[in-house]
């Protein structure tokens, strides 16, 4: 299986202070990697490194047939306010600007991409709704649809289930699994949801100070149960 991203002996931090030290793992095409760890362990720092927002202090991040600008990204604190006076379609369509830059108008290809993303997320019926009038679960789907307009290869989501109720979280996870398994989009998802019955994905990266676990979700659950 082809490697999409190779992280080798990576050290990341700020102003000379190391947050992550000597981390190595691979992300494969059509992979679904969950990143877990306590607050302050470096999960968001790792995502910033992958996105190129901060430079490695040591080690490297190698991209294979992937450009950083073509990564769909949903931050933990979205820049789109829930009170933003725009329609669902306008927000999703804006995701196409990631790869083509600022234009004075949207072309047919961009509009078709936005329509397809809305259909994949099963929210085409919300197309003309105001973003401010949506539920938390619906808003999260809109933001994922916008991110899909920027990529056909990799989505990165920083704690997308935050502030969602149980049913909304389950529906979100089902959609992400479909995007991974049916549309073959690789996913990196940072999560605090460590309930073993809710863990999804194929691989899991656990960050705890200088102690890392990287392997399959199945093996991770076995290790946790064995330790208990």
Distance CA 107, CA 101 (A): 13
Among 152, 175, 208, the domain boundary falls at 152
Structural domain for 138, as ranges = 78-152
Q: Which helix (H) or strand (E) holds 18?
A: strand 17-28
Q: What CATH number should be reported for the domain holding residue 201?
A: 3.40.50.300
Q: Does residue 62 sit in the same domain as residue 158?
A: yes
Q: What is the pTM of this model?
A: 0.88
Please count the structural domains in the chain.
2
Q: Does residue 158 sit in the same domain as residue 228?
A: yes
Helices (H), ranges, the chain: 43-50, 88-93, 97-100, 108-120, 136-148, 166-181, 217-227
Q: Does residue 132 sit in the same domain as residue 177?
A: no
Report if residue 71 sits inside a domain: no
Residue 199: name the closest of 158, 154, 169 by CA. 169
Q: What is the pLDDT along the chain (228 residues), one digit of tens a residue?
A: 899 999 999 999 999 899 999 999 999 999 999 999 888 889 999 999 999 999 999 999 999 988 877 799 988 765 566 666 789 999 999 888 865 555 557 888 889 999 999 999 999 999 999 988 888 889 889 999 999 998 889 999 998 888 788 888 888 899 999 999 999 999 999 987 666 556 789 999 999 866 899 999 888 877 765 554
Report if residue 72 sits inside a domain: no
Paired tokens of 36 = 């877990």
pLDDT at 192: 77
Q: Does residue 47 sit in the same domain as residue 93?
A: no
Tens digit of each residue's pLDDT (9 = 90 or more) over 174-184: 999 999 999 99
Q: Does residue 57 sit in the same domain as residue 163?
A: yes
């Amino acid at each position: 299986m082809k490697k999409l991203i190779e992280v080798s002996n990576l050290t990341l931090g700020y102003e000379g202070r190391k947050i992550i030290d000597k981390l190595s793992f691979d992300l494969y095409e059509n992979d679904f990697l969950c990143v877990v760890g306590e607050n302050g362990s470096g999960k968001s720092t790792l995502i910033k490194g992958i996105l190129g927002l901060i430079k490695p202090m040591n080690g490297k991040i190698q991209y294979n047939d992937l450009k950083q600008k073509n990564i769909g990204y949903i931050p933990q604190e979205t820049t789109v306010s829930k009170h933003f006076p725009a329609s669902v379609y306008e927000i999703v369509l804006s995701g196409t600007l990631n790869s083509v830059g600022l234009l004075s108008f949207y072309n047919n290809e961009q509009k078709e991409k936005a329509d397809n993303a809305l259909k994949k997320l099963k929210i085409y019926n919300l197309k003309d709704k105001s973003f401010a009038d949506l539920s938390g679960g619906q808003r999260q789907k809109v933001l994922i649809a916008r991110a899909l307009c920027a990529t056909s290869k990799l989505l990165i989501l920083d704690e997308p289930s935050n502030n969602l109720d149980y049913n909304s979280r389950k529906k979100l996870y089902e959609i992400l699994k479909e995007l991974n398994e049916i549309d073959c989009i690789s996913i990196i998802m940072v999560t605090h949801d460590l309930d073993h019955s809710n863990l999804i994905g194929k691989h899991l990266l656990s960050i705890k100070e200088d102690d890392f676990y990287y392997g399959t979700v199945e093996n991770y659950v076995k290790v946790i149960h064995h330790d208990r």
